[in-house]
Amino acid sequence: MERTLKPYMIYSRELGARHGAYLVFARNRQQARLIGYDGDIADTWIDCAVNRINDNYIYKYANQDYLKSNTPHTIKNPPSCSHCHIWSVSELDENGLCQDCRK
């Protein structure tokens, strides 16, 4: 199924995604940064990086009502790995671990 909203991760280029990242559902990169950016995630607009996420599992973390109505939105605290606290590596297993921490 072709979805209107695509998942993006935004974070500070300078500090890196480990410092913190938001999950944004938007139509494109520009819109993702426009609706997701705030002073907590990156110091400046220029410092705010946007990466497309290609894994479909991430749609589980969207606000399902907004997803259905194609309303762009930001998830500031998606479920993250209980070990490394990163949410963008992979789907979490039953122990709350990402792919990298399972090994």
Q: Which residues bind Zn ion (CB under 5 A)?
A: 81, 83-84, 98, 101
Phi, psi of 50 (to 5 degrees): -130, 125
**Least Cβ distance, residue 7 to Zn ion (angstroms):** 18
Between 31 and 51, CB nearer to Zn ion: 51
Sign of the Cα torsion 68, 53, 21, 78 reads positive
Give the start-end residues of each E strand in the chain: 6-12, 21-26, 48-52, 73-75
**Least Cβ distance, residue 70 to Zn ion (angstroms):** 31
**Least Cβ distance, residue 17 to Zn ion (angstroms):** 12
Between 60 and 102, CB nearer to Zn ion: 102
